Structure 1
Amino acid sequence: MPDFEITIQVAQDRKVMAIELAALGRPSQRLILELNELDRLISELGNARSQMVSEQAQPDLESDETTISTVANAKWCIRVSPPAVALFAFNHPKFGPVGLMLPKDQITKIVSFLTDRFILQPTQSVEKH
């Protein structure tokens, strides 16, 4: 694939944004998107990324080498579908509403871990799960 530069700008009124792609030696292409169109593009890019990494090993989330896009003070919710799963969802400022489905055994492990660390042992823990 050719080298290219990408420029992203949000309009002052924050109603649209522009993506400009410039392949070296070619005229640039500019795409103007409203928020709903940007959300769709992010979703489609996520689908493409998912296909590209489908056969790769998942990153080691316990490693300090792994970069994690974190959120603080996000609006979140938990929806339960007993007895099998729960949905933990939150609004990620970069990606919009995202969530994960947790099966019962993982929920039990999380509740146990948090109970042990925050209720039974109110000291700081370096243990990762």
Structure 2
Amino acid sequence: MKFDTKTTTLAAALLFVLSAAGSAAKDVDAGWIFNDGDAKMKCPMMCSSAGGTWDGKWKQTGTWSDSCSCNLSGGGNQPAKTKDIKAGPIWNDADADTKCPAVCTSHNATWTKNWVTTREGEMSTCECQR
């Protein structure tokens, strides 16, 4: 079979379109991202928990949260799984902001920004998402 430049270009374009079918880029909330090194640590897990893969891009939004750009297969409609994980006592939102990200990360998950006291002065849980 003989291929000319036009046939090769058309075949390459078709392969590109087919490889992109069923995937969609989406910005996923990642909390604060301080720099590229921080993004390289946070974004792969954030995108994975959203049902996709990190495409290497992130942006600062100028608010309290930054975002990772994720390639989501099937448009990312997979429901995220959440689980409450014990964190010891959490006294307030500022304390949760310190404790919960580490608790969730230790379980290969990300914090959803939700937490609850289950036993006053003794135990709280952080809601983590995979």
TM category (shorter chain) comes to: under 0.3
Greater relative contact order (Cα < 8 A, sep 6+): 2
Name the one with the larger helix percent.
2
The two structures have a TM-score, normalised by structure 1, of 0.24
Name the one with the larger strand percent.
2
The two structures have a TM-score, normalised by structure 2, of 0.24
